Amino acid sequence: MTPGMKKDNTGYDLKQLFIGAEGTLGIITKVALACPPKPEAINLAYLGLESFDQVLVTFQKAKEFLGEILSSCEFMDGEAVDCVTDNLNLSSPIERQPFYMMIETSGSNQGHDEEKLSQFLEHLLENGTIVDGTMATSPSHQQQLWPLRERISEALLHDGYCYKYDISLPFDSFYRSVDVMKARLGDDIVRCVGFGHLGDGNMHLNITSKTYNQEIMDKIEPYLYQWISENKGSISAEHGLGFKKKDFMHFSKCPVSISAMHQIKQVFDPHRIMNPYKVLPSA
């Protein structure tokens, strides 16, 4: 491949094979990085909503109103934020709501971007899509808000044991995954929460119990993977398969795809020495 070129359409793009391979096809020894300039203007909105349907409407409107300056769209359910405020003694600047969103813009004109975000929020408040919210334009204020999203995983560990699932789903079944697992697990667990990267359909579904419990695990797996498969999602959105999920790959990939992956592995690593026993299901 031609080093450092963004466009190089000469045959197969071999680097794509390494994405998601978790080191099972080889070792990357050199990379070329494009370093864009840091945005001059960053703004952050923290919103409260009454339903997940309103979360989806807000996401759609964010793309419509904010367009090219929209840089991040995160969602958290009420129990996820409760976990942060209860377990880490953080405080939310708005009253407790069933759902929350964090919407960030990044651009080159502070006044222009701030005005666009303000108009977006005013529109959603007026039509009742969001019920509460605050906007942070200063870095210090933003640093106070981001922990409400970024420290959820840390807060969940204070409950005891955390069963973590990194999945992707179509929006019509996205949050229903949390409701389904809550109904299945009932009082056996401390909590079941959902949060994640709404912009790319990535849900972090996390379940906690006071200690690790094999009966709870047996209720989760493979039931959850089967449910995800039936709803045309992926059992691993961004964190990979590793050891734990490799034998569940068939819930996201067909036999033909899995067979092709084994053949690719044989070409790149015929002696099976590259990060062995990971990613690919047992033959």
Read off the CATH number of the domain in which 139 is found: 3.30.70.2190
What residue type is assigned to position 274 of the chain?
M
Whether residue 11 is contained in a domain is answered as no
Question: How big, in percent rounded to 5, are the helix, strand and coil portions of the chain?
Answer: 40, 20, 40
Whether residue 254 is contained in a domain is answered as no
The last residue of a domain, from among 225, 240, 255: 240
Whether residue 258 is contained in a domain is answered as no
- Alpha-carbon distance 108 to 41, whole Å? 5
Are residue 120 and residue 169 in the same domain, yes or no?
no
User: Can you give the pLDDT at residue 2?
Assistant: 60
Are residue 89 and residue 185 in the same domain, yes or no?
no
Sequence-ordered list of residues with C-beta below 8 angstroms from that of 260, at least 6 positions apart, any chain: none
- Tell whether omega for the bond before 37 is within 30 degrees of 0, i.e. cis: no
Local mean pLDDT, 10-residue blocks, the chain (283 residues): 75 87 91 87 98 97 95 97 98 97 96 95 95 95 97 98 97 97 98 95 97 98 98 95 94 96 96 95 83
- Distances, alpha carbon 119 to alpha carbons 3, 55, 206, in Å: 44, 18, 34
User: Can you give the pLDDT at residue 8?
Assistant: 83
Whether residue 215 is contained in a domain is answered as yes
Domain that holds residue 49: 41-150
User: Can you give the pLDDT at residue 3?
Assistant: 67
Whether residue 87 is contained in a domain is answered as yes
User: Can you give the pLDDT at residue 64?
Assistant: 95
- Enter the tokens of residue 261: 């992956």
User: Can you give the pLDDT at residue 255?
Assistant: 96
Structurally, how many domains does the chain consist of? 2
Which stretch of DSSP H or E encloses residue 268? helix 255-268
List of E strands, 56-98: 70-77
- Give the per-residue SS3 of 93-154: CCCCCCEEEEEEEEECCHHHHHHHHHHHHHHHHHCCCCCEEEEECCHHHHHHHCHHHHCHHH
- Distances, alpha carbon 15 to alpha carbons 12, 25, 64, 168, 256, in Å: 9, 11, 33, 23, 22
Dihedral angle computed from the Cα positions of residues 85, 91, 93 and 96, in that order, rounded to the nearest 10 degrees: 30
Are residue 140 and residue 77 in the same domain, yes or no?
yes
Whether residue 9 is contained in a domain is answered as no
| Residue matched to tokens 């640093």 | 143
Whether residue 13 is contained in a domain is answered as no
For residue 107, how far is the Cα from the chain centroid? 23
Are residue 87 and residue 138 in the same domain, yes or no?
yes
Residue 118 contacts residue 137 (beta carbons within 8 Å) = no
User: Can you give the pLDDT at residue 48?
Assistant: 98
Q: Report how far apart the first and last C-alpha atoms of the chain are (Å, whole number).
A: 32
The last residue of a domain, from among 122, 150, 178: 150
Are residue 94 and residue 192 in the same domain, yes or no?
no
User: Can you give the pLDDT at residue 1?
Assistant: 54
- Alpha-carbon distance 137 to 2, whole Å? 41
| Residue matched to tokens 């009966």 | 215
- Alpha-carbon distance 160 to 137, whole Å? 36
Biggest CA pair distance of the chain? 63
- Distances, alpha carbon 60 to alpha carbons 25, 57, 166, 198, in Å: 38, 5, 23, 11
